[in-house]
A and B are shown apart, each in its own frame.
Chain A
Amino acid sequence: MNPIQIDSPRPMGGRKISLASRVWNTPSLLVGGLMFAVLIGLAVFIPFISPYQPSEQNLSAFLQPPSSEHWLGTDQLGRDLFTRLIYAARTDLKIMVLAEIIPFCTGVFLGMLAGYYGKWLNTMISLLTDTLIAFPFYLIVIIVAFASGAGERGIYITFMLVGWIVFARVVKGLSASFREQEWVASAQTLGLPGVRIILRHLLPNVLPQAIVVLMTDMIGLLVAIVTLGYLGIGITPPTPDWGTMIADGRSFITTAWWLSAVPGLAVVYTGIALSLVGDGLADLWRKK
């Protein structure tokens, strides 16, 4: 038997509604998640789906329109467009995720430090973010990409340098507002060390918002990767990449428009999927 309760618990507790039913009631998360899952699924299983290799040329069947043999047609070297498209997704999505890891962690961490401790740390980090934000983003990207040479490495280095700013700014604001809340003050007066408050209490509270920002930021990063590829300072051929595919199709835009349009649409598709996921996650966490 339960002991007599002095005052009854609230009937509607936060986590009593199961996570699954909350996800089910967030259509944008479902749709976005499904779209992204389809893309990832294709990227993972493409060797079993397609009989072609991404760089496999067939000069006797170049610039073919979509058919049952080549679902999206072939390019000027007779490579299967669908196969290349999905292999390009592998490259671009992999870089997108990997390039976000370090900036996300540094940004969230620095943001928490600046927001929580304030004072000179805040001034310093604000100064740094404001200076970097004053430069046009693509200017920095192109300079660093040139300096470090084309290819994946340049993208990683660029994003390590500038990618953290977005997260630092958002998390800094959030942390500063949490800092004004009573539970942080309470934890301080009860004698918890600052590190503990930041890692155990502040971090879980800022993380949802940071992840929502991460989703939008990944779209920007993907567009940057594709742009660099298009400009010829990103992924280098023959590695399949949406940016180089768009650039390659330029000369045939009047005769075989799908060569450029399809990778472009793939970028849009990924962008929509990610922003729906971000939107859905924000909804999900708000509902609680």
Chain B
Amino acid sequence: MASNTVLQVEALSLATKSKKLVDNVSFSLGKGESLGLVGESGSGKSLTLRAVLGLLPRGIEQTGGVIKSDVRSAMVFQDPRGALDPLCPVVAQVAEVIYYRQKVGRKASRIQALELLEMLGLPDSLKRLDRYPSQLSGGQCQRIVIAMALACKPGILLCDEPTTALDVTVQRQIIETITSLQRELGFAMVFVTHNLAIAAALCSKLCVMKEGQIVEHDDTLSLLQNPTNPYTRMLLDSVLPLPELEGSEQ
């Protein structure tokens, strides 16, 4: 492992008893880097991510390969409301992670949790009222989930399609929040998405996955400019351009 590599996945294979789901997947991630795993549903990108976290669903096993990492990783889930205990106030959920992970007192952990939520742009009303996940919007819940992930001071943030379940307008805010946090805190990131545009905007390297295998792996720019694999080209072509916006961006 190179000195600044935080995560190395070598020849990872995952399978159920009857079917291979992920086959021979390798990639590595340097400190502060971000890597996009792109592909259609069922291509094994989420499973790969879960394997990194050691969170494989029942019945799926790692049949080969090594995952090497010497830093903490934390995950941001696809469905933010499903990733929060519905019967526990959200601030308490964030504070709890701080309490157990950073070994500070109950009061201090609550103060830190509120600071974290402020940093994530959540409204002040959370400080005064006990709010439950069902009382927050999807975007707010996702910010809470991100706060919980950040509360354990991760070296790697694993994002499993964190914007798929959200409104388009909120998607952008969440992505901006994640990028600015990354700039500030310097964690590495693996970002799983089926949206090539989002991945390209966020990540310096991209892995394109199809049917459990990485079909193309390159720097974002060169991959976008010169896709060698026909599947990558298909993904690129599937991004619909907005004519007016394209003009204004250049």
- Give A contacts to B, CB under 8 Å: 2-3, 5-10, 13-16, 180-183, 185-193, 196, 200-201, 204-205, 288
Contact = CB atoms under 8 A, between A and B. Distances in A.
17 contacts: A2-B123, A6-B123, A6-B173, A7-B170, A9-B123, A9-B137, A9-B140, A13-B134, A15-B132, A180-B58, A182-B83, A183-B86, A189-B75, A190-B100, A191-B100, A191-B101, A200-B96
Given A6-B121, A192-B96, A13 B85 contact: no
Contacts of A7: 137, 139-140, 167, 169-170, 173
Given A7-B140, A192-B100, A204-B88, 10 more contacts: A2-B123, A8-B137, A9-B136, A9-B137, A13-B132, A181-B82, A182-B79, A189-B75, A196-B96, A288-B134
A216 B32 CA distance: 57
Contact of A201 (B85, B124, B136): B85
Nearest to B122: A6
A183 B81 CA distance: 8
B145 A186 contact: yes
A5 B139 CA distance: 11
Interface stretch (B146-154, B183-191, B213-221, B226-234): B146-154
Interface in B9-61: 53-55, 58
Interface residues of B, number: 41
B55 A14 contact: no
Contacts of A16: 135
B240 interface: no
Contact of B134 (A5, A14, A186, A193): A14
A42 to B, nearest CB: 36
A201 B134 CA distance: 15
Interface in B77-101: 77, 79, 82-88, 96-97, 100-101
A191 B148 CA distance: 11
A192 B125 CA distance: 26
Nearest to A190: B97
B135 A10 contact: yes
Nearest to B121: A6
B74 interface: yes
Interface of B: 53-55, 58, 74-75, 77, 79, 82-88, 96-97, 100-101, 121-125, 131-132, 134-137, 139-140, 145, 148-149, 151-152, 167, 169-170, 173
B145 A14 contact: no
Among the interface residues B77, B85, B132, B136, which one has the most CB atoms of the partner chain A within 10 A? B85
A180 B58 CA distance: 9
A14 B79 contact: no
Contacts of B96: 192, 196, 200
A9 B123 CA distance: 10
A3 B134 CA distance: 21
A13 to B, nearest CB: 3
B140 A189 contact: no
Contacts of A181: 82
B205 to A, nearest CB: 24
Contacts of A190: 74, 97, 100-101, 148-149, 151-152
A87 B132 CA distance: 45
A35 to B, nearest CB: 29
Contact of A2 (B54, B125, B132, B136): B125
Contacts of A180: 58
Contacts of B131: 13
A192 B97 contact: yes
Residue in A3, A187, A192 whose Cβ sees the most chain B Cβ within 10 Å: A187
